[in-house]
Amino acid sequence: MKFICLTLLIISRITDSRSGQYDVVGAVDPVFAVAGEDVILPCSIKPNISVVDMRVEWSRPDQKDSQLVNLYEDHEDRNIEQSQSYRRRTKLNHQELEKGNASLKLSSVKIADEGRYKCFIQSKSWYDDATVDFKVEVLGSTPVITVDGFDYLGGLRLQCESEGWYPEPDLEWLDSEGVSLNPESTEKHRNAEGFRVKHTITVHQSGKIHCRVKLRHHMLETLIITTSNLHPVSSQVTFIYIFLILYKNYKQQEIPKRYAPHTILILMTSAAARPKLWVEVNVILDADTAHPRLIVSDDGKQVRDGKKQQGLMNDKKERFIDYLGVLGKDGFSSGCFCFEVQVKGQTEWDLGVTRGSVSRKGLTVVSPMIGYWVVSLRDGACWARKSPQISLPLSGKPQRVCVFVDYEKGLVSFYDVKAMTLMYSYTNQSFDKKLYPFVSLGYLSNENSTPLIICDESY
């Protein structure tokens, strides 16, 4: 009997000794993932030994009855009793098991997946476990800045709102120097779709104002640029550009292409009136109006010189014959609208608006007198096409130009988007017919094959 007890004691001590040689290791810090993405929950044996012949069980100890997440046993996954919510979403890398790596891949993460996970590894003579805290983040909507008028000192009241976040995000305003600005009011609500945040602020200075919503690892940001006294007509007019700047995983230097900056909206406000919205219209070029040398893309967003007549001279369409011009399909006879054209790389162009009824044949000069409100690039210089022409002093050659029209005010303005500067404005004009977007590659011919491109949000 003493011999048996001694034998059991020796075996027990050997087992305890062996168990002290290995540890199951999880993650020291919580693991984060965005809803809808995949995540790896780390778990391994240190020092590394193969766990191919062992039992590896992942479970949720923070849930009722400790839900089974994934079970590996006898060299295969045995998930008959796996919790329904994890079906077909979990996977162990069987090749990594040989290296002692029992990390679990969880696909298509959901908010309900957030919580504590236990990785349990067991051999015939040893077992240990480790826990992993998993946090889920949901990216909400792009922050939207709206203008809510002016205070009695002429300060601009701005509201920034975003919704659909989880957990509750931080929203902050920053000036052009990156200094945080204190909001005047703050609203936070939670519903089935997540958290909604809204801050209001009043600014009295020109420059860049950022509205930023962020979680631990992610951020979305909208930038508004206010420039007072920019327009030459009235010192009371303020032009405001709003640019959308999205950053995902902002600690990384590389920004995905789908998060590249682009203009979403432009507002013009007056100290004597409430803000006025400039609608960014969807311009589609009308190939039936294009000069016979021009090739218009199938989607109506690009036009280039085809270097030769396209055999369209006698198709009885109302085409441009001298200017290499083309009109937009839709005209506008009220309100405010704008559109943008990429002119980068092109050495000769005309942009603006025109009456649809103007003659498109035998034209040698475009000007407001005959129904064209245009700026042009010729020989490296920009011109406002009045009679006589006006040279436009620019710091560099524009790459992307915005055309803005306020029909009722008789205003047509042109902006260099990259430089964020006003190029020229036609003021106090009289419009009584529809105005159509007009783009041209110059007069008679253009040897530069670079296209003009109509820009929109999908560009």
3-state secondary structure of 172: strand
User: For the structural domain made of 282-455, what CATH number should be given?
Assistant: 2.60.120.920
Band (pLDDT 50/70/90 cuts) for residue 106 is: very high
Asked, colleague to colleague, whether 144-279 and 282-455 share their fold, the answer is: no
Q: Which one, of 328, 240, 245, lies nearest residue 278 by Cα?
A: 240
Band (pLDDT 50/70/90 cuts) for residue 270 is: very low
Q: For the chain, what are the domain ranges?
A: 23-137, 144-279, 282-455
Res 241: pLDDT: 45
Q: Which residue is associated with the tokens 């000007």?
A: 367
Query: Taking 80 as the threshold, does the pLDDT of residue 406 lie above it?
Result: yes
Digit-coded pLDDT (tens) for 167-197: 999 999 998 888 999 998 899 999 888 999 9
Band (pLDDT 50/70/90 cuts) for residue 44 is: very high
* Tokens encoding 397: 């050659």
3-state secondary structure of 368: helix
Digit-coded pLDDT (tens) for 430-441: 999 999 999 999
Q: Which residue is associated with the tokens 């042009």?
A: 376
Digit-coded pLDDT (tens) for 289-323: 999 999 999 999 999 998 777 665 556 678 888 88
Long-range contacts of 389-398 (CB under 8 A, 24+ apart): 390/424, 392/423, 392/424, 394/419, 394/421, 394/423, 395/419, 395/421, 398/343, 398/423
Peptide bond between residue 388 and the one before it cis (omega within 30 degrees of 0): yes
Res 33: pLDDT: 93
Res 189: pLDDT: 93
Task: Identify whether the C-beta of residue 84 lies closer than 8 Å to the C-beta of residue 105.
Answer: no
Share of the chain above pLDDT 70, in %: 80
Q: Is the pTM of this model over 0.85?
A: no
Class of domain 144-279: mainly beta
Which CATH architecture does the domain made up of 23-137 adopt?
Sandwich (2.60)
Cα end-to-end span (Å), the chain: 86
